[in-house]
Structure 1
Amino acid sequence: MTAPATASALQRPDGTPLRVLVVDDEQMLTDLLSMALRMEGWDVRAAASGFQALQAARDFDPDAMVLDIMMPDLDGMAVLQRLRQSGNDVPVLFLTAKDAVSDRVAGLTAGGDDYVTKPFSLEEVVARLRGLMRRAGTALASDSEPILHVGDLSLNEDSHEVIRGGVELELTATEFELLRYLMRNQRRVVSKAQILDRVWNYDFGGRSSVVELYISYLRKKIDQGNEPLIHTVRGVGYMIKAPQ
């Protein structure tokens, strides 16, 4: 799989790929995240424990870190504390099954920069990391704005503005994530399973009917009164492409 060419590529000021360290003791999760981040063109390294994370942070010098809180040896809070004590101010996106407000506050006040709870959308993690690195000033965009285009449809990944034919469209958060995934894979057929995996969460449980429902929502907002951009490929999945 290759990185979608439609997104504005983020890179280091010297033109080399951004470095992201993914820390989680669930190998399936680190594999999925690593794959999604490499599709962005980023250099990714994974660690399975808190102590491995500290060593990797020294050796790899990441531009951002995805850090699980609950780990068997040294939890994410302790890892972050040691990083900050050593003068390492790498932006940290906490990743955890905990979703209580108190846990979010604790993570952010400990020096974390953002917080995503499991189950999560891989697209959301990518978007949060892009935002973190932009705000931290560690990344430069090869284009002026992170805007995706398909025909007369545009989607701004930073402002969440969606415009077709000069008219701004109001989308829900899920509709936006679904449209973004389709646009980042324009002219490529994506299956219901792939959509569930990337838009809803990494453990989708086979709820394929929800994809059909949200595709119909998008069509009403994107395609109604216009030449269709969203197409069904029977027996395979969905694709978005500009009219010929």
Structure 2
Amino acid sequence: MIKILLAEDDAEMLDLTAYVLRRERFVVIEASDGAMALRRWKADRPDLVVLDLGLPGVDGFEVLRKMRDDDETTPVLVLTARKDAQNILRCFNLGTDDFLPKPFEFRELVARMRAILRRARVSVKADSEPRLEIDGLSLDPEAYEVIWRDKWVRLTPTEFRILYLLATNTGHVVPASRLYTYVWGSEGGDANALRSHISHLRRKLEEIGGEGPGQITSVPAVGYVFRRSPARPDLHLAPSPELTSLNIAPGDPASSAAAAGV
């Protein structure tokens, strides 16, 4: 059974959401404040955390930060009535995998949860997505582990998937539409979420210091490309058949994440 940690301060909302999730055959662990959420997190090790930002005591941002300090891999879905861009970006920068503003429909919540769990469990398959080694950069899809010249790079599962797809196609543009499908599945993705994850991923690669593994650059109205560090030539891997068959027109809405040039 899949264990869900549900952290929500509104008692009525907590009861109703827990009831809906249990009907969907999830095991629900309830927490009504930040301190309780952290205790249940450490004791029960859930498969997914559904986290409201407005928790009393230790707020949702701090809970998310502490969880990510302890474990980068367990997926987190944030719920909040705070819809401003600053709070959304802060959540993604702290490592959330998805963001659902209140009020929401329960069927959308369940759909997003299942999509996140699907990505976490079947996103990397040994027969189709092998360990990737590129001139000192190692990406292990089984463990979501990234190593650059014996230095471990901490990434969230979403950041790992973005980097894995880009690195597999080093030197070639990956359309934004392909990133949406690969990272977020059939439910699609959000342009702001993609920009935020890539911005955070860039920052982590830059923080390595010295000659990093490479750079992620945008190709306006098309997508993103991962290039090796300037001191080394690009390793031009053959793009996947999916990419070579895609013809992305400059006005394709699916490329809106790259159109902003970030």
Structure 2 length normalisation: TM-score?
0.46
Larger RCO: Structure 1 or Structure 2 (Cα < 8 Å, ≥ 6 residues apart)?
Answer: 1
Structure 1 length normalisation: TM-score?
0.49
Structure that is richer in helix per residue? 2
